[in-house]
Structure formats: structure tokens, C-alpha cells
Amino acid sequence: MKNLTTMTNIKCYLLLFIFSILSACGGGGDEGSTTETSTPPPVTPPVTPPPTSTPEPTSLDDLIIDPNNVMQSVFQLAIDINIDSNKRAYFSLCDEFNGSNNTYSVNFDSCQFRGPLDEGKLTTKIKIANHQDKLIAVLWFYDASEPQFQVWQYDTGLEQQMLRIN
């Protein structure tokens, strides 16, 4: 029995010796490689890209549109003029003007609408481009009296835009 124990101990020692030799050898390399140890490359921290701004849209698919935007390029302006029916007048609605307090210089080539009053009245609706947020209304009287000016400005709080002259 002593032989069996001795034989088992020898086998264990032999196995330990083989494993220690295999683990000391390191990984396999080229047959012609030398036993020099190479230094591992230095560890560099990961590079974080700089923050970027929102990219410019390059197609319609890239656009982000507010759900409340109705995407209309025009709005309707209701015009309601009701003056003394004995006064004949002509109406102009223009977008290029400057001045104030009834002293205006108007570019009449920029008029969005022109038309005569019928017995002192004019009621119509016209389409105006969204970028037109300020217009000037001019009433010209046939009796050579001074024209009447009224500046109209877009009101975001109103559902329907209206220009009224009484």
C-alpha cells in the first residue's frame, strides 16, 4: 500500500511540475522570437469628441416642426370699411411705408389691395403673406380732402385678423 501512495504522490508532483512549466512559458509566439519581454503600449484615456451643435438640416426629413405649427404661408385679413355714404373714396392697403402721426410716405407699388368704396362701404377678405405683420391702409377721397391713414398690425392673440375703418 505504501507503493500505491508513493506512486500517487509522484504523479501529483509530476502534474504540478508540468503545469508550472507550461504556465511559465507564456503565450506562443513566432518560432524565431527572442525571449525579450515587450512593454505593453501605454494606455491612453478614451477621447471624448467635443460637443457639437445641432446639425443644419439638409433635407425636409431633417426638419423638426412644432406640432402647433399649421404650416400656412398666408393668413386671411378681413377688411371692413364703413364711412359716411355721401363721401366717395378709394382704398389702398400697402406694406412699404414710413412715418407716423398721419404723416406717412407710402410706396403705392407695394399695395396688397386697391379698390373703390361703394356708398362708403367695402367688405372683403384678402390673403396676406405671413411675413407681412404691419400694413398701412389709406382712404383717398374724391373731394380732394386729405387722405386718411391707418396702420394695421398683426395680432397673434386674434383668431381672425381684421382691419376696420369707421
Residues 124-148: pLDDT tens digits?
999 999 889 999 999 999 998 999 9
Confidence check: pLDDT of 123 > 70:
yes
What per-residue confidence (pLDDT) applies to 100? 85
Q: How far is CA 137 from CA 5, 108, 115, 128, 130, in A?
A: 118, 11, 12, 14, 18
Residue extents of the structural domains in the chain:
74-153
| Closest of 108, 124, 115, 122 to residue 76, by C-alpha | 124
- For residue 166 the three cell numbers come to 369707421
CATH 3.10.350, domain 74-153, yes or no: no
pLDDT computed for residue 73 by the predictor? 84
For residue 156, what pLDDT is reported? Answer: 82
Answer whether 159's CB lies under 8 Å from 103's CB: no
3-class DSSP assignment, residue 109: helix
pLDDT band at 157 (very low <50, low <70, confident <90, very high): confident
Q: How far apart are CA 165 and CA 5, in angstroms?
A: 121
State residue 25's pLDDT score: 56
Q: How many Å apart are CA 79 and CA 93, to the nearest integer?
A: 10
- Residue written as cell 389702398? 92
- What is the structure's pLDDT at 33? 52
Q: What is the mean pLDDT of the chain?
A: 80
Arithmetic mean of pLDDT, 47-52:
65
Is pLDDT above 70 for 53?
Answer: no
- What average pLDDT does this structure show over 97-116? 92
Amino acid 36: pLDDT = 59
Number of H helices, E strands in the chain: 1, 9
User: Which tens digits make up the pLDDT trace of 6-33?
Assistant: 767 777 666 666 766 666 555 555 555 5
- Dig out the grid coordinates for 35 from the structure: 525571449
